[in-house]
Amino acid sequence: MGRQIRLLTGLFLRSLFGFNEFRFTGDKKKKSRYLLMGAAWLMVVFMLVSYVCGASYGLIVAGAGELAVAMPVVCVSVIIFFFTMIKAGPVLFDNRAFEKQIALPVELRAIIVSRFLSMYLTNLLLTMLVMIPGMAVYGLMEEPGIVFYLYGLAGSLFVPLLPLTAASVAGALIAGIGSRWKQKNLAMILLTMVLVCGILVGSFGMSDGISRMDEGALEEMLLQITPALKAGVRRIYLPALWLSGAMVEGRFSQLLLFATVPLGGFVIFLEILRPFYTKICSLLGESAAGNRKNLSLKALKEKSFLRSMTERELRHYFSSVVYVTNTMVGAMMMVILAVGTAVMGKEAIDGLLGVEGIAERTIPVLLGMLPAMMPLTACSISMEGKQWWMMQTFPVSEKALARSKVLADLLVVFPFYLVSELALLIALKPDMGDVVSLVTVPAAYILFSARLGLAINRRFPVFDWENETRAVKQSTSVFLTVLAGMISGAVPMAVLLGASGIPAGAVYGVTIGVLALVTAILEWKEL
């Protein structure tokens, strides 16, 4: 079975991020695009490593050297759990790939393990990018023995395992429950969104609790920073202290405990899932087939082309669990941010972001940046897959086709935008100037991101995917759109926070003008 697992896992990894296409394609333009993507990733890696090194240095200087090991474990585990939970179901229960694999002479257990292992290896890379810099900083400043590095490297191999298993359990439960409903995809989307929303609200509440500590409490915590932070880590993720204890104090028993618990959890999860795996894949496959049938162009009634294609785009969107759950998180965070601010006040945002007075000047930009980082259009062309060539044969302009995708994006985001605006306007009762900024800045970001995402996806499409996860989460266009959304928000926020002498209204005006200009250029030039 070991050989089967290696072969199945290798097939997935070789297709990851278009590696095989880059390796074998003779198209110089495609190679250039992949090289550009590689350069962008290197920049992100540099920023991540710099942040980890800075945070580790700060903890050691503050007298909490042990936590320079534990905190990276906590952070990377939370990130892995959150993002894996969103994609675990679609990856684990991808019926199209399952039908091909089950026809081969391979064991069912090998298929399940290979899919889990594929997620594990991709997240192991993230783990190493976080753990190794932290270990290096600690090693240079504290000069530990060789055991520190040996236990650290060994323990890092197990860091992704527990959050991956927990996220897979959540994904399996959502898929299992959803497969019993008549509207299976809708059920899975709703269940996933409820869980994601619960996690976001819980995180917001924890941050608000910190922001509400009085000055005396904060000073007391700083005097006893190590015990305070240890208590926080123990409540959030106890296994992180097992690994830090093993590395810093050389306790092999702690390392053994850190390795055994995740492995045991995964084995139990595998044995419980195996009897139900085939049935869940089959039921979800039937649902997908029904959704594809509903997307047939013949089923469209005689309507205007724009309306018909927009309706088709929306049906396509809500038929894919991974598509919805990965692109709606930003809009959901916008609502949570707005409602949280309205209920608990602007001070809650200050506590959440760790900067005093940040909410007063940056709420409009924050509201717009969140949904702008992952618009539907960032992968809407890629999601057509091999059907895209059919779309090119329609006796209509590409302009109308593109506008249908942009309109679908706006229709999905608009309810979240409306709820966010109403919550803030009713609760905060801002003056007319603040009303204008609260309404127009997020709207400008939403329009900009919808158009920009489509333009980027047009240049970096992915049509040869077997699993929707690659089109939604592992494509160049998605990465560049997320990066562009972050930069578009980071620049005005940096000005708002760093240049307090500049009126916020002036920054908002320039931001709206730039976003509107870029949107207009893309509309005119690209189509």
Task: Give the pLDDT confidence of 183-209 residue by residue, as tens digits.
Answer: 555 665 666 666 666 655 555 554 444
Span 488-516, mean pLDDT?
Answer: 87
Asked if residues 59 and 233 have their Cβ atoms less than 8 Å apart, the reply is no
Q: Which residues contact 203 (CB under 8 A, 6 or more apart)?
A: none
Helix (H) or strand (E) holding 166: helix 161-178
pLDDT, average across residues 8-14:
65
pLDDT higher than 80, residue 387: no
- Residues 209, 57: Cα–Cα separation, whole Å: 26
Q: Look at residue 224 in the predicted model and tell me its pLDDT.
A: 52
Give yes or no for residue 311 having a pLDDT over 80: yes
CA angle at 32 for the pair 30 and 33, rounded to the nearest 5°: 65
The yes-or-no verdict on residue 122 having pLDDT over 90 is no
Question: pLDDT for 148-172, tens place per residue?
Answer: 899 989 999 999 998 888 888 877 7
What is the tens place of the pLDDT at every residue in 318-359? 877 778 877 888 888 888 888 877 777 766 566 555 556 666
Q: What is the percentage of the chain residues whose pLDDT exceeds 90?
A: 10
Residue 218 has pLDDT above 60, yes or no: no
Structure confidence at residue 221 (pLDDT)? 46
- Provide the pLDDT for residue 143: 83
The number of C-alpha atoms within 13 Å of 453 and in the hemisphere containing its C-beta is 33
Per-residue pLDDT, 104? 67
pTM of the shown model:
0.66
Q: Within a 10 A sphere around the Cβ of 354, how many other Cβ atoms?
A: 10
Residue 277 has pLDDT above 70, yes or no: yes
Q: Where are the beta strands (DSSP E) in 119-210?
A: none
pLDDT at 219: 44
Query: Which pLDDT score is estimated for 200?
Result: 57
For residue 448, name the pLDDT band (cuts at 50, 70, 90).
Answer: very high
Buried b (16+ CB within 10 A) or exposed e, 399-432: eebbbbbbbbbbebbeebbeebbebbbeebeeee
What is the tens place of the pLDDT at every residue in 396-427? 667 778 888 999 999 999 999 999 999 888 87
- The answer to whether residue 79 scores a pLDDT higher than 70 is yes
Average pLDDT, the chain: 77
pLDDT at position 395 = 65
Name the token pair of 107. 């064991």
**pLDDT given at position 217:** 46
Q: How far apart are CA 481 and CA 454, in angstroms?
A: 9
